[in-house]
Amino acid sequence: MPSTPASAPASVSDLDLDLDLDEGLLDQVTAAVHAAGDRLRERYEPRADAVRAATADEVVAAIHANDDAVLDVLKAPLLAARPGARWAEDELAGGALPPGEWWVVDPAEGNINHVHGMPDWAVTATLVRDNQPVLTVVHAPLTGDDYTAVAGGGARLNGVPLHVSAKTDLGAALTGTGQARPGEDERTFRRIGSSVARMLTAGLVVRVSVPATLQLIHVAAGRTDAFWQFSDVRSGLVAGALLVAEAGGAVTDVHGAPWTLASPDFLAAAPGVHAAAVDVLSEVS
């Protein structure tokens, strides 16, 4: 993914400098994300007794309590690691950011799973420069795994390079989608349902789950073949977008146009099934 605006093309030396600087941040970002993950792991209860009979308000309160417990060990170190970078406050917000560098962070990606005692949650931190994700760390505290990527430097799992799947037949593909945020509008819910029905016919299996990042790491690792979402929630997409792109995947909107933070929807897929996935999803209105 390019790290400079289209109006100011970067030279090879500029790109190399950006890559060196961004790779130099990885240790600091990883340390911050690990500290946050340790705190979340301490709060994790597989039995989920606290929400077993909870109201919706009580579930939301538990989610906010996780965020509050983690932010104080995550925000300050990341801002110190990159002076001048700003913090995207609303983790459910979408759309393009103002120019410059921003930390787009989800202190508990998959928070709803965490409070219900399920294992699909993580901590994510992504540096976005002029609306391009350029560095990301996704830490899964229960397994200790780190998914990392730097623009132009590849994607890795615990230091080992990642590669997307080599499948060329959508009929053999394991794909996924999910809800981006609570309270989406009815049209979005109908699009999700219609897309699942179409992909179940065209593909092999569809996983419908949250969060997006935990599905996208599987696309980057070649375990699944495509993921789409009818949403522009930044915090759920930027980390996975960079990981998939750096692992050799295609990252577009559902019509096949290059994805940006301003795109209203999202598709990440192995190159061999991407065109077929676009054919399926672009017909969903």
Among candidate residues 91, 86, 123, 90, the one with its CA nearest the CA of residue 103: 86
**CA separation for the pair 277, 285 (Å, rounded):** 15
Alpha helices for the chain (secondary structure H): 12-43, 56-81, 111-115, 186-202, 212-220, 234-246, 271-281
pTM: 0.93
H or E element that contains 209 = none
- Residues 88-129 have pLDDT tens digits of 999 999 999 999 999 999 999 999 999 999 999 999 999 999
- Residue 16 has a pLDDT of 67
Strand order in the sheet with 266-269: 205-208, 174-177, 226-229, 266-269, 250-252
- Condensed to tens digits (0 to 9), the pLDDT of residues 8-43 reads 445 545 556 678 878 889 999 999 999 999 999 999
pLDDT at position 20, please? 82
From first to last of its 285 residues, what are the pLDDT tens digits of the chain?
433 333 344 554 555 667 887 888 999 999 999 999 999 999 999 988 889 889 999 999 999 999 999 998 999 999 999 999 999 999 999 999 999 999 999 999 999 999 999 999 999 999 999 999 999 999 999 999 999 999 999 999 999 999 999 999 999 999 999 999 888 889 999 999 999 999 999 999 999 999 999 999 999 999 999 999 999 999 999 999 999 999 999 999 999 999 999 999 999 999 999 999 999 999 998
Mean pLDDT of the chain: 93
Distance (Å, whole) CA 231 – CA 139 = 23
